[in-house]
Amino acid sequence: MKFSWKNALKASASLLFAGAVSLGLFTAFNDANTVEAAEQTDVLGSKRYVISNPYKDVDWDTWQGYKGATHVHTNISDGDIDFDKMIEQYYSLGYDCLAITDHGTVNYGWTANKSRIAIFGYQLVVHGSPDPMSASRAAQINAGTDRNGRGMIDVPMGNEMNGASATKTHINGYFADAGHGDAEISASGVSGCVTAVKKNHKAGGITHINHVGEFMSANDHDTLQSCINDVYTASWINEFASDVFMAYSSCTGIELVNTADSRTRWDRYLYDELLKRLAPYGRMIWGYCEDDAHEFSDCDRNAQIFWMPSNTAANVRTSMTTGAFFASSKNSRTELSGIAVSATDPYPEVTRVTVDDLKSQITFEVKNAGSAYMVANGTTVETIACDSAGSIVTFDLNKYESTIGSYVRVYFTGTGGVTYVQPFHVTTAAYGTDSTVSFNVTFNGEKVENPNIVLKNSSGSMIPVVNGSVTLDIADTYTYEVSAEKTAVTTGSFEITAYDFAYELDYTIDVNIEEYPEISFIEGIEVVPHPETKIIDGLVPGVGATGEYAVSTSQLGTIEIVPTKNGYGTGTKLNLVCDGEVMDSYTFVLYGDTDGDAVIDATDATSLLMFLFNAFSSEWTDETISAFDVNNDGIFDSSDALMLRRIGMLEEIEIEQNR
C-alpha cells in the first residue's frame, strides 16, 4: 500500500489595500529575527496562503542564468566610450545579454550605421563620428568564438526615452522602434513618464522606469524618515500606481539600484510602497539593478540574471515580462551597510525557487550568500543566516500573518553584494474542515469495481465507505480491510490530522489485493481430495488424518489439521489459516467411521442404527452422515449397519475408502 495525495486548494483573490508605512525595511540585521538556514517545520497558522511564483515556469534542472546589462550608454549620446568599445567591455566582463540604451536613440543593432540626435552634437567635437561594430566582430561576439562558445547577444531597440528631460523622468524602452530622436527636454513628472510608456506600448515594446527617486526628489533626503515625511511622496507613488502601472501592463517595473546607488538609495522603499498599492489588485512589478554605464568605471556594478532555456532576445523579453530573473548589485547602500563588498566576489546566486502553497512556504537554494531577508508589506520580518558555500532557505508565511499583505519579497546579501528576488503575489483562501479519502483497489494490475471495504476509527466504530470514497472530519488513526470475491483481505491504516483538514488534503490509498488463498494438495498422496464437495477420503483405518497433505497456493497462510473430539477420523478438518482467519477448509471422511475416532467398529453400527431410526444427533455433520454409506451404494440403510456390525464382530470386511 502507498499513499498519494493531491492539492485541493481553492484559491480566492483577496483585494486588500495595505497602505501603512513602516520603518522596518532597512533593519537588515535584526538579531531577534535571525535564524540559521535549515529545514523548517511547517507553521499551521490561521490563514492559508496561495503564492503566485514568478519563477513557476523555470526548469531549474535544464535552464541557465544569463547575466545581462540593460541600461548602458555610449558616445552616441552622453557616454564617454565608443559604441563598439562599450560592447567589447561588457563581453570581456562575462555578460551574456547587452542592451545599449542611449538617450533618445533607438539601438537598431550593433552593425547599423550610427547617428546622434541634435542635442548630443557636441560629441562630434569630443569623439568624432560614431562607428558601428564590424559585422565579423559582432558575429564572433554573438557566437562566443573567443569565449569558449559563450556568446553575448544584443537586446534590440534599447532606448532611454525622455533622455534629455531636465527632471530626469527617464524610461528605458526595449523591443520597439519608439522615441528615436525624441529629446523630450520638457517632460516632467508622472505625466512625462506616461507619454513615453504609452508611445512604447503602442509600438509593441516593454519599458521600465529609471532612477525613480531622482525625479521624485527622494534622493534629496538624507534619511528615509525625511523621504517618508515629504508631502509629495505619497502623491507621486499614487500617480505612478494608477497612471502608469495600472494603465500599461508593458511597463514591467522600476530600477532598485542605479550605478553606485547614490540617487536611488531610497528606491527600495518607493518600490514597496508601489507594491502595497498594486499587489492587492494582482498587478506585480519587477525590480532592476542597472549600471547606467557612461564610462568603464560604471561597468559591472549591477546585473540582471535572466533564467532562460537559451540565450535569445525573445527569451530575454519573456524573462523581463514574467519576472523570471534576479537583480543583483554590488552597491546597494542600505542593504550592504557594514559589509565589505569586494568586486572580485560573485553576487549571491539563487539556483532554485520552490513554492509550497500547502505549507505557505517559499524555499530557495542559494550560494555566495551570508544572509537572507524576507520583506512583507514594506517591513523586514525575518533574517536567516546562510552558508556562503550553499544553503536551503525556507520562509514560512504563517509565521508573520499580522504583517503580510498582498506580496512578499526576498533578497540575499553576501561579500559580493545583494541579489533581489522578484516579489511573490499573495492571496488567502479559507481553511477547510474535512478531507476525502479514496481507495484505489487493484487486483493483478486491474482496477477492482465495488470492492469490500471495512473502515474503522481508533475506537473500532465502522465508517461507511460509499463507491470507494469517504469524507472524514475527525482527526484520528483509521484502519481498513479491503477484499473482493475470491481475494484475500488486505489490511492497513492511515492518519488524518488537523493539518489535512486545514489544507483540504485529499488522499488516495492504493491497495493491491491478492488472490484468495486456496489449498493445493501435494502430489502422490494416497488420500483423495474432492474440491467440489470439500471432502478428503482414502484414509487408513486406525491411523486417520495425521500426515502432511497440502500447501497454500498463495503461500500466505499455514496449514493446520484439527481432529475431532475422538481423534483423527471422520470430521477431522484440514484448514488454511491466514491472519488468524480460516480461508479454506476440507473435511476428512473415513467411510464407516461415524464417531471420528478413525476406528470402524460396533459403536459406528449403533450410530448408524440411531440415524436410521431418526434419532438424530447434533454432532452429526454432512461428512459424518456421508460416512454411513459403508457399501458405497449411495443409500444409508440396514445393509450398511449390518456390515458395520459384522466388523464389530471381528469379521474381515473390506470397505472401499477412495470414492
| pLDDT tens column, 510-561 | 999 877 778 889 988 889 999 999 999 999 999 999 888 998 876 667 899 9
C-alpha pair distances (Å), 210 with each of 37, 204, 224, 381: 34, 19, 19, 28
* The predicted structure's pLDDT at residue 220: 83
Give the model confidence (pLDDT) of 8-35 as tens digits. Answer: 222 222 222 223 233 333 333 233 344 4
Model confidence pLDDT, tens digit, residues 129-172:
998 999 999 999 999 999 999 999 999 999 999 988 888 999 99
Q: What pLDDT is attached to residue 23?
A: 30
- The domains found in the chain, sorted by start residue, are 7-57+342-429 (no CATH), 431-512 (2.60.40.10), 519-648 (1.10.1330.10)
* Residues 522-548 as b or e (16 or more Cβ within 10 Å = b): eeeeebebeeeeebbbbbebeebbeee
- Strand runs labelled E in 113-250: 153-154, 159-161, 171-174, 206-209
Check residue 391 and give its pLDDT.
96
pLDDT < 70 regions, the chain: 1-40, 338, 340-343, 486, 554-556, 615-619
DSSP-derived pairing of the beta strands 558-562 and 361-367:
unpaired
Q: What is the pLDDT of residue 482?
A: 93
pLDDT score for 620: 73
Report the percent of the chain where pLDDT is more than 70. 92
What count of Cα atoms within 13 Å lies in the side-chain half-sphere of residue 378?
20
- Are β-strands 581-588 and 535-537 bridged in parallel, bridged antiparallel, or unpaired? parallel
Which cell is 290 given? Answer: 542597472
Angle subtended by helix axes 638-648 and 602-612, to nearest 10:
160
Q: What is the pLDDT of residue 132?
A: 95
pLDDT of residue 40: 58
pLDDT at 10: 24
What is the model's pLDDT at position 232?
A: 82
What's the pLDDT score for residue 32? 34
Dist. CA 303–CA 71, nearest whole Å: 10
